[in-house]
Structure 1
Amino acid sequence: MNDERISFLLELNQIEYDCHAMLNQEYAALLDDSISEKQLITLNHLEEKGRILTGELAELLNITPSAVSQMLNKLEKKQFIRRYINPDSRREIFVELDQAGIDYLNLNRQIELSIIERFYAKLPWEDLQHLKRIMTQFKEIIISERANRQSADL
Structure 2
Amino acid sequence: MDNQNENELFNLVTEINEITYSMNARLIKEYRSLLNEDLSSKQIILMDLVKKESRLSISQLAELMNVTSSAVSQIVSKLEREKYLLRTINPNNRREIIVQLDERGHHYYSKEEEINKEIVNRFYSRLKMEEVIQLRDILVKLNNVVEEELSREEMRGE
Cα displacement string for residues 92-111 of structure 1 (whole angstroms, at most 9, x for unaligned residues): 11111100000000000000
CA positional deviation for 1:32: 3.8
Matched, 1:97 2:101: yes
Q: Between 13-22 and 131-140, report the one with greater CA deviation.
A: 131-140
CA positional deviation for 1:139: 1.8
> Which is greater in Rg?
2
Report % sequence identity. 34
Distance 2:82 2:153 in 1: 36
Closer, same or farther in 2 for the Cα pair 1:63/1:87, shift >3 Å?
Answer: same
Aligned length: 154
Residue among 45, 61, 66 paired with 2:70: 66
Q: SS at the partner of 1:85? A: strand
- Gap regions ≥5 residues in structure 2: none
Residue among 21, 26, 42 paired with 1:22: 26
Matched, 1:113 2:132: no
Distance 1:60 1:76 in 2: 19
Q: SS at the partner of 1:79? A: coil
Q: SS at the partner of 1:94? A: strand
Distance 2:124 2:88 in 1: 41
CA root-mean-square deviation: 2.1
CA positional deviation for 1:8: 1.6
Counterpart residue number, 1:140: 144
Q: Between 13-22 and 84-93, report the one with greater CA deviation.
A: 84-93
- Gap regions ≥5 residues in structure 1: none
Matches within 5 A, 1:116-127: 116-127=120-131
